[in-house]
Structure 1
Amino acid sequence: MSAAFSQAWLLDETPASRSQAAWGRRYRAWLDLRSNPLAMIGLVVVVAFVILSLAAPLLATHDPGVQNLTNRLAKPSVAHWLGTDELGRDIYSRILYGGRVTLGMVIAVVLLVAPLGLAVGCIAGYSGGAVDRILMRVTDVFLAFPRLILALAFVAALKPGVESAVLAIALTAWPPYARLARAETMTVRNSDFIAACRLTGAPAGRIVLRHIAPLCVPSLVVRITLDMSSIIITAASLGFLGMGAQPPSPEWGAMIATAKRFIFEQWWVPTIPGLAIFMASLAFNFLGDGLRDVLDPKQR
């Protein structure tokens, strides 16, 4: 009865409060997402990767950095579920700890680029004029270069490492979000409710922060989720090229780089981290497509 009452409360067509209306929208969005099987598969895989990475110290069967040269390039077995690499390190344990590095880099990039892109796009779209032209020309400069090439240039100017890779990817990933936020802002800046805010004397900063930016967030969330796969691949590519996480850090891209010469004889050594990158990227794509259908009113 309690569950039925809660569902009826959430789906009430005439909510009695703003809180009920907000929770009702969230519940309907969840129902729409749940009806998409591919989106749910992506969500389950993403959550599984996050949980496995966070629980790596509990789930790992070996220390990811301990070498055992007498057992190098061992096939998958009971002792080593996914085999060992060229230094005898357990691949299963390194995959778990590598998820911490790779997914941690992705989360750090998102936390940096999302607020930056949202701020630049909203300010440019609302201000217009010279401010818009200057900010968009700066955005165009970053968009003119391929993301990986520009990230390599930034890392080379700093020093190879996780922190440099995160900063480099963040500096190259924010322009699309700024473009999207600007487009969303320009569609609502002349709306009646924005005009009413101006008539009440609200400053431009408050209007952008309290009224325009929240309207841009759903589209930004969808774009970020869809871009997660490219961010993962860029982070792994930097590790593969020796410009990201440095050995002996168990980063998925770096693991492929050190094992690529064994792909024909000991195929499991480079293939397993490659499968981890593939599965994580595909899961984020599935989830992003589902969120686009739920959050973007143009797709309805």
Structure 2
Amino acid sequence: MNTTTAHPVKHLKKWLLSPSPASRRQARLGRAYLGWITFTRNRLALIGLGIILTLILVAALAPVLTPWPPNTPDLGSRLQPVSPAHWFGTDELGRDIFSRVVHGSRLTLCVVVLVAIIAAPVGLLIGTVSGYAGKMTDTVLMRITDIFLAFPKLILALAFVSALGPGIENAIIAIAITSWPPYARIARAETLTIRNADFISAARLQGAGPVRIVWGHIMPLCTSSLVVRVTLDMAGIILTAAGLGFLGLGAQPPLPEWGAMISSGRKFLLDQWWVATMPGIAIFVVSLGFNLLGDGLRDVLDPKSDGGK
């Protein structure tokens, strides 16, 4: 039997781990494979990845997984305890808490994804431009960044939501506005370390302008550090969104947002503990998952660690 046919996986690993890759594609795939090996050595990171993948799966299959409508009241079943019929019990309006927690995962994913899509590119752009341009541009952009960093994120988000008005869309905008400054700081620090590198000088000598250098050379090198920071910040984003929902400034009833569910259930905490506890556990588990995943990605993507070599 042909060895290549008998051991395709072995030959694929050998091809990925080749010390002298024949193409850029082979080199990138080999580096990705080495990163995956490093990631899988961290069991806590795998647990975090499992939690996040479960969250995505639950959000995608929410209508299939939930036997009860999340927003339809049933006053005859109000404040029912945990049972085979209602796995997480029911709330003060008789709505199934399990169904509301599962459908609330969609809102949570929507918030973290949209905030990351908005805040990370803004922070990356401001940081790289500031670090590469220097002088007055750097001073102005960093002082604006310092102003945002001077306020606690939740307090600043509360101010923006109060100005924009309550609602999930305005909450996302407010959280995104308060989330970009740390990304700008990281991108600026990375840019300052590489803007005078030999390959940047070579690109400049070849006629590349500042826009091309920043976009084509500096931004890609800042992405890995930014990805780690964004992943670690997901837990903070979830907590900020839950805090806004708890205060009535985020998602509005009857949307099944976890923070708003805790707010409505806090007055039943002593006797009907499940009303506030179940969404609280959901926030804790998902936040823990993002933190564990972020730690694992830092081991892989940090150029100073063994996984980044």
TM-score interval, normalised by the smaller of the two chains: over 0.9
> In the alignment, what sits opposite 2:24?
18
113, 117, 120: which one aligns with 2:126: 120
Aligned-residue offset at 1:27? 0.6
- Matched residue type, 1:11: L
CA distance in 2, matches of 1:93, 1:64: 5
Gaps of 5+ in 2: 1-6
92, 96, 99: which one aligns with 2:105: 99
Aligned-residue offset at 1:299? 3.0
* C-alpha distance after superposition, 1:3-52 (max 9, x if no partner): 11111111111111100000000010011001100000000001101110
Gaps of 5+ in 1: none
Residues 154-233 of structure 1: pairs in structure 2 closer than 5 A: 154-233=160-239
Residues 16-55 of structure 1: pairs in structure 2 closer than 5 A: 16-55=22-61
Matched, 1:242 2:248: yes
- Matched residue type, 1:192: D
> In the alignment, what sits opposite 1:8?
14
CA distance in 2, matches of 1:193, 1:100: 44
Look up the SS of the partner of 1:297 in the other structure.
Answer: coil
Look up the SS of the partner of 1:194 in the other structure.
Answer: helix
Aligned-residue offset at 1:255? 0.3
CA distance in 2, matches of 1:107, 1:264: 35
Structure 1 stretches of at least 4 aligned residues deviating more than 3 Å after TM superposition: none
CA distance in 2, matches of 1:299, 1:163: 39
Matched, 1:60 2:66: yes
CA distance in 1, matches of 2:49, 2:269: 31
Aligned-residue offset at 1:81? 1.2
* C-alpha distance after superposition, 1:166-193 (max 9, x if no partner): 0000000000000000000000000000
> In the alignment, what sits opposite 2:271?
265
Look up the SS of the partner of 1:83 in the other structure.
Answer: coil
Structure 1 length-normalised TM? 0.99
- Matched residue type, 1:3: V
Matched, 1:298 2:304: yes
* C-alpha distance after superposition, 1:262-289 (max 9, x if no partner): 1110111100000000001111111111
> In the alignment, what sits opposite 1:87?
93
Aligned-residue offset at 1:203? 0.7
CA distance in 1, matches of 2:89, 2:13: 48
Matched, 1:279 2:285: yes
Aligned-residue offset at 1:2? 1.4
> Number of aligned pairs?
300
CA distance in 1, matches of 2:54, 2:18: 33
RMSD over equivalenced CA pairs, Å: 0.7
CA distance in 2, matches of 1:50, 1:159: 29
285, 288, 297: which one aligns with 2:294: 288
CA distance in 1, matches of 2:288, 2:108: 15
CA distance in 2, matches of 1:85, 1:3: 52
> In the alignment, what sits opposite 2:137?
131
Look up the SS of the partner of 1:226 in the other structure.
Answer: helix
Look up the SS of the partner of 1:96 in the other structure.
Answer: helix
CA distance in 1, matches of 2:8, 2:67: 43
* C-alpha distance after superposition, 1:39-85 (max 9, x if no partner): 00000001101110111011111110111111101011121111101
